Chain A
Amino acid sequence: MSKRLISGADQVLENVLENVLIFLTSRRDRNAVSLVCKSWCRAEAHTRSDLFIGNCYAVAPRRVTDRFKRLRSVYLKGKPRFADFSLMPADWGAHFTPWVYVMAGAYRALEKISLKRMLVTDDDLAVIAKSFKGFKELVLVCCEGFGARGLGVIATECRNLRVLELNEDEVLEDEFDWISCFPSDCTTSLESLCFDCLESPVNFEALEKLVARSPLLKKLRLNRHVSIQQLYRLTSLAPQLTDLGTGAFGLQDIIDPQQPAYQEPDHGHTFAACKSIVCLSGFRDLAHEYLPAIFPICANLTSLNLSYAHVDAQQLKSVIRHCHKLRIFWTLDSICDEGLQAVANACTDLRELRVFPTDPSENAEGPVSETGLLAVSLGCRKLQSILYFCQQMTNAAVIAMSNNCPDLEVFRLCIIGRYRPDWVTGQPMDEGFGAIVKNCKKLTRLAVSGLLTDRAFSYIGQYGKLVRTLSVAFAADGDTGLKYVLEGCTNLQKLEIRDSPFGDSGLQSGLHHFYNMRFVWLSSCRVTKQGCLEVARRLPKLVVEVFRRDEEDGGERGDFVNTLYMYRSLDGPRADAPQFVKIL
């Protein structure tokens, strides 16, 4: 940006504007403000403290530090979601390293870093620890590449650390005792400590001492190596907790050399002290006889995650009937339709439900079905978000949900059996999903499955005007499906499609819209290299990547491209693409 001298009057105006903009927090509003004129753009850049970058390759780090001078918080997202399902080669990219070095030089006052699906190394963590003196919050979601050593440096150096959250990361098991790295001489400012995804045991003695000297600790999520006895000791030390991940909640004894005759503590009192817990998760190695220990706090719970425990219908009933305030519930399908009925009866305020499969194979017994979905729709009228895995479904149940739950914003139905029609009528699932897009006027995210024809996509294009994210797998008849979506869904941001017969002509129909999107993913579809080249030619600011999951060179699979991943970028194609990734 050219530096132009502005008049005194203009400067005053800008200062006034800045003082107003400080109060503007929504990033959408801020983006709008920055488009008004150069002066407003400058003012906005001066006052933006929280930056969100949905695709780390959409912009170079340097461009960010040139524009925004005073960032306190950065949220960076790397790989697209399909990377979570092994659909992406391991060395594809999304390295945090270039970002951390550039930011270290530019933002002395950076306090918060959140990363999702990025490759983070121990060195990167060390750079964070050493560069940002007042560093307060580190949140890593679905990241990998670092180990406990990196965590140790953060713990040692970041004296003002408030939040350290590891969420579904793949942490290298280097068996380093990072918990002992927190300074032991004073109370900490820790408010949140989450390491439930850590595979190695942590030093419990050090953890206990850490919790004891962290009076502000509100959120604590333990990994599966923390036994129920150890949990009891921690909850006694931290009665102020509001969010607890229980660790194993099961049978792990400790050998305490001071107590040769080992006694089991009274688990009924594990939570007696914790009146404030509203969010409960964990149960990584659940011993079912201990489940009643949570009864005393069920009435206060707004969020409960049992999705790592095989809880059956009876066991679930004993718990859920107390949970009248529940808003978020994650579970395995082991609770069966019967369990879902119990949820529907008790949790009338439920906003978010996720039902994961115990057995993800295609021909398994399906413990949940359209019956459970229907029950939930009748009982939980305020439902906003649902993720439901099942083996079979009917259009009727989905239509019923579309009518009963008008507040739905997120509807993700995964019928595990591919190409399965409505098992009662034998019809495709078109009408069900059609009803969802038509009746749920607030719908922003949709994932479809089962047997679908172009009709389903015509509905989505026709009615899904607010849809920002669409996931499609094993669907449709041909190209027209993709055409309906790209022409109809004017707010579409993220499109991820696999194993569907969409080809070049379908792809071309989105040329007018691709610059408005965060990314498009098409794998095992029918786009050819020619088709991709055509898109790349017509849209020069689009980075068009073509690759194969198994890292074979060329990215092709016969006539068709294996994976097409494209996204807009202000700074051209990335320099760190591995060899097997072709950028057209």
Chain B
Amino acid sequence: MMHLKETELCLGLGLPGSCEQTDTALKATGKRGFSETVDLMLNLQTKDQSSSVDMNDKKLQSSTKNNKDLTKPPAKAQVVGWPPVRNYRKNVMAQKSNTEETEKAVAGGGSAASFVKVSMDGAPYLRKVDLKLYESYQQLSDALAKMFSSFTMGNYGSQGMIDFMNESKLMDLLNSSEYVPSYEDKDGDWMLVGDVPWQMFVDSCKRLRIMKGSDAIGLAPRAMEKCKNRS
């Protein structure tokens, strides 16, 4: 029931998924974990947004629609059970909208997608994600959580990305049985996700692996070193 209400709310405000993206974009800029890289990221993000505007005209239209709808009188607010599309269908389409719609937009814009394989330790199948669909680590994290929802991701999703600055917190996470994402970069090294600014990550990531924190311990020192070098 709750899930349905959420989708109803989203549908009332414009294209499905667009309101979620606005929320996560806000969350991303507020992330403490990237205190060093926040400024860098903001600059990169505005660059991203302007380029993504070129690619994704549809998305831009949807966000302006968003604003238009918000100023409309209450009479035009979402009416229960209208239009008469079965709940079953509404749920299915709401689930698909995030990936498929933006996939279409990207394909239409002509920019090459950036598909990488994602594996999760213990899961029987792989997934592929297009990193170009996301604008921040938070968005990627949410998408991964959805993809592997049948397997527990622990508190990883809600905490957001790893705070590399806080050494003890980092070690706690890696010592736990929580899942952390790691990636293989251009040099073939396996790194912890979140150590570099988002765009740099998209450019260098070749594949993703979601592994148990305890398995990722070996990756931590390198990640922390990279952070320290940038400060």
Contacts and interface: CB of A to CB of B under 8 A. Distances in A.
A253 B150 contact: no
Contacts of B16: 359
A360 B126 CA distance: 32
Interface in A249-263: 251-255
Contacts of B14: 361
Interface stretch (B26-34, B76-84, B138-146): B76-84
Interface string B145-162: 000001000000000000
Interface residues of B, number: 43
B34 to A, nearest CB: 30
Nearest to B123: A255
Nearest to A197: B88
Nearest to A449: B83
B11 A361 contact: yes
Nearest to B1: A90
A253 B127 contact: yes
A232 interface: no
B104 interface: yes
Nearest to A289: B107
A284 interface: yes
A253 B69 CA distance: 39
A357 B97 CA distance: 13
B218 to A, nearest CB: 22
A90 B124 CA distance: 36
B89 interface: yes
Contacts of B84: 84-85, 414, 447, 471, 473
A416 interface: yes
A82 B81 contact: yes
B96 A308 contact: yes
Given A86-B80, A308-B92, A308-B96, A363 B65 contact: yes
A356 B104 CA distance: 18
Contacts of B56: none
B93 interface: yes
Interface string A434-445: 000000000000
Interface in B73-121: 76, 78-90, 92-93, 96, 99-101, 104, 107, 115, 117, 119
Given A175-B150, A200-B150, A255-B126, 19 more contacts: A82-B81, A84-B87, A85-B87, A87-B81, A142-B86, A253-B125, A253-B126, A254-B124, A255-B119, A285-B100, A308-B96, A309-B100, A357-B83, A362-B76, A365-B61, A414-B83, A418-B82, A447-B84, A474-B82
Interface of A: 82, 84-87, 90, 142, 168, 170, 175, 197, 200-201, 227, 251-255, 284-286, 288, 307-310, 312, 356-365, 389, 414, 416, 418, 447, 471, 473-474, 498-499, 549
The 3 closest A-B pairs by CB, nearest first: A85-B81, A253-B126, A84-B86
7 contacts: A85-B87, A168-B88, A168-B89, A356-B85, A359-B16, A361-B11, A362-B76
